Amino acid sequence: MARAILKNCQIIDGLKEEPLVNGIIVVEDERISWVGQASDFDLKLEKNATIIDMNGMYVLPGLWDMHLHLDYQGLKDIAAPRTVAQRTLFSYRRALTFLYNGVTSLRLVGTSDGIDFALRDGIARGDYLGPRILTAGKGINSTGGHGSKDGTGFDGPYEFRRAARQVVFKGADLVKVMVTGGIAGRNEAFDAPQTLEDEVAAVVEIAHNWGKHVSAHVASAEAAIMCAKVGVDTIEHGYALTEEALETMLTRGSKYVPTLIVTDNPSYWEAIGTANWAVEKIKQAYDSHHKAVEMAIKMGLTIAVGTDVPVPFMDGAIVVVREMEALAKLGAKPQDIIKWATLTAATICGVNDQVGTIENGKIADLIAVPENPYESVSNLRDIRFVMSKGTIARNELPNQQEVGVLAGRLEEGI
């Protein structure tokens, strides 16, 4: 049994309001077996364990991205033909890029050709190093609706039931349904209604019968109200949500995954060559999107951190951290944002008994930074250490000689 002891930690366990100073975390194989104060642990008795001096680093649970398309290469390349093999290799490299930068769990909300299932299962078996993956498989859209590559789709509640049954049969961890238009649909308004109430309700019924949660691509307030009323678990994007829509979500228990960085900096998308039609929709959605998220924060609506952008980095940060910074700009507290990116995400996905906090018995998904992220989430830009399921994926601690096999081989960005 492999036993590693992380000493000299400042532990942000996700349960307490303040870090535990001078803490110790004991990891046996892939799980945490002990967490506590150094004064309560006798290191002298540890003759065969690997001792890792964290040099006062702040250690916290690994982050989640709750809205990701691993094979999404860029808005300007939406129509670019790529083989399944090319997309698979690209997707795995991107998954490793996220892991190396502290994102130890990914919720995928729309991938074709079974790439997501193959990666998820291979990583879970231990065949490959990689982040935890939960996936919806291919999103379910109405005929010609958002996400359709060739205009095909489903119509009416019976067809939507069949589509939901097909995706859960394949092993999906959740079900994704497209309800309105979006930014990346060239021939649609971003808030255009597409899927009807009885169709969404049919998907919710089947998914919940199978014990799966439902994620809905939603832009408009009307669609969000409808989705919340029929039991959709997470409303994604919400570019134009009103106070009424947010209150309905709060009352009905729907969570919000705002993907704020989609609209947070339109000039960024122009600078990297995004198609003009997509940039124009980003600009159109900017004000209403930011207002919606600001209202949601003040209202106390449960939020989870997701990104939905075709790049792994933005403005010098891994996109999950950039999303956290965008939420902070609108008034969210660092403690809340970190919870949204850890425990809240794990709870929505039904794995909070395994990950999301640093506790005895939980899987050792851990990251470390030099400065306190409870003071500013921007301190998560400087991740020095990543442990995934008890395996060290990144180690840039002081006085460490090992660079790591992944260093210099992953995606980079501006």
The residues of the chain that CATH labels 3.20.20.140 are 63-348
CB burial of residue 148 (10 Å; 0-12, 13-18, 19+):
middle
Helix (H) or strand (E) segment spanning residue 235: strand 234-240
The Cα 35–Cα 39 span in angstroms is 12
The residues of the chain that CATH labels 2.30.40.10 are 3-61+356-395
CATH class of domain segment(s) 3-61+356-395: mainly beta
The Cα 328–Cα 297 span in angstroms is 10
- Identify which of 348, 328, 394, 297 has the alpha carbon closest to the alpha carbon of residue 57: 394
- Identify which of 267, 268, 230 has the alpha carbon closest to the alpha carbon of residue 249: 230
> pLDDT tens track of the chain, all 414 residues?
589 999 999 999 999 999 999 999 999 999 999 999 999 998 888 888 999 999 999 999 999 999 999 998 865 555 566 899 999 999 999 999 999 999 999 999 999 899 999 999 999 999 999 999 999 999 999 998 888 778 789 999 999 999 999 999 999 999 999 999 988 888 888 888 999 999 999 999 999 999 999 999 999 999 999 999 999 999 999 999 999 999 999 999 999 999 999 999 998 888 888 889 989 999 999 999 999 999 999 999 999 999 999 999 999 999 999 999 999 999 999 999 999 999 999 999 999 999 999 999 999 999 999 999 999 999 999 999 999 999 999 999 987 655 566 766 788 765
What per-residue confidence (pLDDT) applies to 78?
52
What per-residue confidence (pLDDT) applies to 145?
83
**Residue 402 φ then ψ, to 5°:** -80, 125
Asked if CATH classification 3.40.630.30 holds for the domain at 63-348, the reply, yes or no, is no
